[in-house]
Amino acid sequence: MRVRLSAEILRNELVRKVEEISGEDLLKCYQCGKCAAGCPAAFAMDMLPSQVIRFAQLGLVEEVLNSETPWFCAACQTCYARCPKGVDLSRIMEAIREIVLQERGDYIDLSTLSPDDLAEFPQQAFIASFRKYTA
């Protein structure tokens, strides 16, 4: 994939939005990959956690907004604990989810949960997932 770099692209609208919403500096990341190496959910993601930042830095907005990766982040903050630059990636994932939820509405349809799941899941699982996955 050919990507043209410029100061404008590096400070693209997605980067500025994510920084505003998350309070994190995306350009701090120098792609060491420790977040991706330590992420316990990385195996399920279509883009590594570090790649989400890289794609955003390169202005590949649609790729980031269409990625499943932010939805697999459980905010365990292992990435933040290990980041040598102190970037709290879980906050960046939250900001991306927020942007997608605002644009496209709910990510999960609560009516599709099975009666068994409704009966068995602890309350906190529902409350937390509604807060992460619905607009």
Partner 1 sequence: MKISYFPGCTLNTTAKGFDNSLRASARVLGVELAELPEWNCCGATFPLLADNVLDLAGPARVLVAARETGERLAVACTTCYNVLRRTNLAISADGDKREKLNFFIEAEYKGDLRVLDILQVLRDEVGFDRIAQMVKKPLTGLKAAAYYGCMVLRPAAEVAYDDPEDPRALDELLIALGAETVDYPHKGECCGAYLAVKSAEATAEMTYTILSSAQKNGAQLIVANCPLCQFNLDKQQVEMGRRHAGYQPIPIFYFAQLLGVALGLETDDFGWEKHYIDPQPILALVRS
Q: How far is CA 5 from the centre of its chain?
A: 23
Buried b (16+ CB within 10 A) or exposed e, 70-106: bbbbeeeebbbeebeeebbbbbbbbbbbbbbeeeeee
Among 58, 64, 94, 100, binds partner 1 (CB under 8 A): 94
* Residues 35-74 close enough to bind partner 1 by CB under 8 A: 40-41, 43-44, 71-72, 74
Whole-number minimum distance, CB 75 to partner 1, in Å?
A: 6
Cβ nearer to partner 1, comparing 5 with 125: 125
As a residue count, the chain comes to 135
In angstroms, what CA-CA distances link 122 with 27, 35, 43, 117, 131? 38, 29, 25, 9, 15
Nearer to partner 1 among residue 6 and residue 124 (C-beta): 124
The residue within the footprint of partner 1, chosen from 9, 21, 27, 101 (CB under 8 A), is: 21
Q: Footprint of partner 1 on this chain (CB under 8 A)?
A: 20-23, 40-41, 43-44, 71-72, 74-78, 80-81, 88, 90-91, 94-95, 98, 108, 113, 117, 120-129, 131-133
